[in-house]
């Protein structure tokens, strides 16, 4: 699943795109930009594909995710494309929940004097979120523990 959120800074907005594994809630990749161009979304996608290749990617119908470049890249990798229906906010509930957690637990509590500071804070929060923040919906496990357990099962590894 992929989505973009707006982050208000003292001199304008920054835009954060994140790819999240729905099963584990693991943030696979992200990218930050001061424009809403497709390129920063593709940067996050390419970074995520270096981690793992999903069967399907779900997004909203934003211009970045309906662009020729985005569609072409997903088709090149044989990834199925899924888009939420207009007005169907529950279709991307997992990533919206991540945005809520990030903003309430990090972003709204701090001021960032520069994009560099914001980027560092996002990186640290995602590390915390993936590795140390347990989730009730994951039976009080972390996204990383579920994500990498799932990866071992797919690869045929078993726990001893």
Q: What is the mean pLDDT of residues 64-90?
A: 88
User: Does the structure show a pLDDT above 60 at 31?
Assistant: yes
User: Does the structure show a pLDDT above 90 at 84?
Assistant: no
User: Does the structure show a pLDDT above 80 at 82?
Assistant: yes
The residue among 88 and 48 whose pLDDT is bigger is 48
* Element at 57 (helix H, strand E): strand 56-59
* CA–CA gap between residue 126 and residue 26 (Å, rounded): 9
Pair 31, 70: CB distance under 8 Å: no
Pairing mode, if any, of strands 12-20 and 2-9?
A: antiparallel
Question: Rounded to two decimals, what is the model's pTM?
Answer: 0.88
Percent pLDDT > 90 in the chain is 74
Give the pLDDT band (50/70/90) at residue 58. very high
């Amino acid at each position: 699943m992929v989505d973009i959120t707006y982050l208000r800074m003292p001199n304008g907005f920054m835009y954060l795109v994140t790819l999240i594994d729905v099963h584990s809630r693991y943030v696979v990749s992200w990218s930050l930009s001061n424009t809403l161009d497709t390129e920063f979304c593709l940067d996050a996608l390419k970074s995520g594909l270096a981690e793992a290749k999903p069967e399907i990617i779900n997004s909203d119908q934003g211009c970045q995710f309906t662009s020729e470049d985005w569609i072409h890249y997903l088709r090149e990798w044989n990834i199925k494309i899924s888009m939420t229906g207009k007005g169907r906010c529950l279709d991307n509930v997992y990533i919206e929940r991540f945005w809520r957690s990030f903003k309430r637990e990090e972003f709204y509590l701090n001021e960032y004097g520069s994009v560099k500071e914001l980027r560092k804070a996002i990186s640290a929060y995602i590390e915390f979120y993936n590795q140390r923040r347990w989730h009730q919906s994951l039976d009080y496990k972390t996204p990383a523990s579920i994500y990498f357990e799932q990866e071992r099962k797919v690869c045929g590894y078993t726990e001893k």
